[in-house]
Amino acid sequence: MYRKNAQQMSPKESRKEKSSSAFTIRPFRKTDIDFVIGGQLTLYATEYGFTSQVWNDYLTGGVQEFLRQFDSARDCMYIAERDNTPCGCIAITHTEDRIAQLRFYFMERDCRGRGAGRRLMDRAIGFCRGANYKRVFLWTFSTLDAARHLYAGRGFRITDTHINNEWGEPILEEKWELEL
């Protein structure tokens, strides 16, 4: 079968080819934790200037706490892979009775816009529904436009905001919630 190369494709065909890249979503393994921490530290330092020790401790401590409290009936973490290499993550952790928090959601830059992030989000929300959570919330930043668009498209709504000055540049944090 003849297949066009990238130079012969129209922009629309090229986007379709790009989005058809094979991604898999799987439950995390303890060996993924370095990827989850390192991937986020690198991403936020490179893209948003978060380099403070407070940010590093917050993120690292959050992942370590997730592992300590992990309860497979109430918590999950999924890893997106492309060509058997981790490229994204999302987690759900229990907070209060029947309330979950979405955490550690990120996609590496070269894997964005290809559908894996949407699949991670849908898998996490599906887990929340299956675990009979009544609500899920997350904290994010006003500068994360693509993620915010995805949250809004899944029915999340902003319920709180505040300025955070601890992680480098001042940034507007937003709390988003989804009633299930």
Q: Parallel, antiparallel, or unpaired: how do β-strands 135-141 and 171-179 relate? A: antiparallel
Q: Parallel, antiparallel, or unpaired: how do β-strands 135-141 and 157-164 relate? A: unpaired
pLDDT value, residue 166:
81
pLDDT value, residue 49:
84
> What pLDDT digit, counting tens, does each position of 1-50 carry?
333 444 444 454 444 444 445 899 999 999 999 999 999 999 989 988 88
pLDDT value, residue 21:
56
Q: Parallel, antiparallel, or unpaired: how do β-strands 157-164 and 171-179 relate? A: antiparallel
More confident residue, 101 or 113: 101
CA–CA–CA angle 17, 22, 25 (5° rounding): 140
pLDDT value, residue 7:
47
> What pLDDT digit, counting tens, does each position of 123-164 carry?
999 999 999 999 999 999 998 898 999 999 999 999 999 998
Q: Domain 22-179: give its CATH architecture.
A: 3-Layer(aba) Sandwich (3.40)
Tokens of 104: 């550690």
Radius of gyration of the chain (CA): 17
CB atoms within 10 A of CB 18: 13
Q: What is the rounded CA–CA span in Å between residue 133 and residue 102?
A: 12
CB atoms within 10 A of CB 2: 3
> What pLDDT digit, counting tens, does each position of 48-65 carry?
888 889 999 999 999 999
> What pLDDT digit, counting tens, does each position of 69-99 carry?
999 999 999 999 999 999 999 999 999 889 9
More confident residue, 113 or 77: 77
What's the predicted TM-score (pTM) here?
0.85
- Amino acid letter, residue 112: R
Beta bridge partners of 106: 89
pLDDT value, residue 169:
75
Q: What is the rounded CA–CA span in Å between residue 131 and residue 75?
A: 9
CB atoms within 10 A of CB 68: 7
pLDDT value, residue 165:
86
